Amino acid sequence: MTIDLATLTPIDKQHYLQHIIAPRPICFASTVDREGNVNLSPFSFFNLFSTNPPVVVFSPSRRVRDNTTKHTLQNVLELPEVVINMVDIEMVQQVSLASCEYPKGTNEFLKAGFTMEPATLVQPPMVKESKAKMECRVLEVKSLGTGGGAGNLVICEVLRLHLDAAILNDNNRVDQRKLQLVARLGGNWYCSTKHLFEIEKPNTQLGMGIDALPALIRNSKVLSGNDLGQLANVTELPSIAPGFADDQLGQLVTGLAGEERMLAIHRYAKTLLEGGRLHDAWQVLLTA
């Protein structure tokens, strides 16, 4: 199906875009108005856009159904400061409750059962229960339109971080496994970072590329694009390691023949790749 967005209603545009552009990190934003009334609300149009200077952007969009604006937007226009509290799995139900459209002047900290903690540089309070908090100065609010669904980019400079010791390792670095962040998908769907995996970055070492793989590997009926991507991330074609031996490979080589043997060997290499054993997978493929 091919869709021209110009033919869609705002509701339909929202459906398709929010379901496919995901997962989106959640900005749990605390703000205050000029009278000092506190507001707390989550936004999934949010991300990091610069580290030097440290800049994050979130977007309290105009409501699709009636084109009204959110209290958070009104507040940052009155007082250009915000605390962004990151959301983890332990607080996600309360965060969802805070997204209710309570009347202006309602303190969502109280409604959602969060604890207000004074910030050190800005006026809005922090969410004590959040394990990572950012005190921010609002640099600019850029409107993207006047119709329902139009975004308002709140461009923020991060001034100070507050990190719970529980998410840090011995070197005071964030341990990604300890901070089980939550992200938004489409509709009522969320996801968490409970299932994590690592992919080694090429950095300054250039991967040789899938086009440089031997044809029998590149055209495999078993190895997926992800498998080939792992194999091709080495800088050059490996050589067979002296003395390399593998009992399972030996059984496949002696017990099978022709295409059946090749497919079995590729399946074995795939299993090794899935287990993070790139070197062994290469040795199996090269030796065979």
Which alpha helices (H) appear in the chain, and where do they start and end? 10-20, 71-78, 92-98, 108-112, 215-218, 225-231, 247-255, 258-274, 278-287
Determine the Cα–Cα distance for residues 154 and 140; give it in Å rounded to an integer. 6
Question: Could you report the per-residue pLDDT of 224-261, keeping only the tens digit for each?
Answer: 999 999 999 999 999 999 888 889 988 988 888 899 99
pLDDT exceeds 90 at position 200: no
Question: Could you report the per-residue pLDDT of 41-79, keeping only the tens digit for each?
Answer: 999 999 999 999 999 999 999 998 899 899 999 999 999
pLDDT exceeds 90 at position 185: yes
CA–CA distances in Å: residue 172 to residues 57, 152, 226: 26, 35, 33
Domains of the chain from N-terminus onward: 5-192 (2.30.110.10), 210-287 (no CATH)
pLDDT at 191: 96
Residue 173: how many CB atoms within 10 A of its CB? 10
pLDDT at 122: 98
Determine the Cα–Cα distance for residues 187 and 129; give it in Å rounded to an integer. 26
Q: Residue 116 corresponds to which tokens in the numbers above?
A: 């207000």
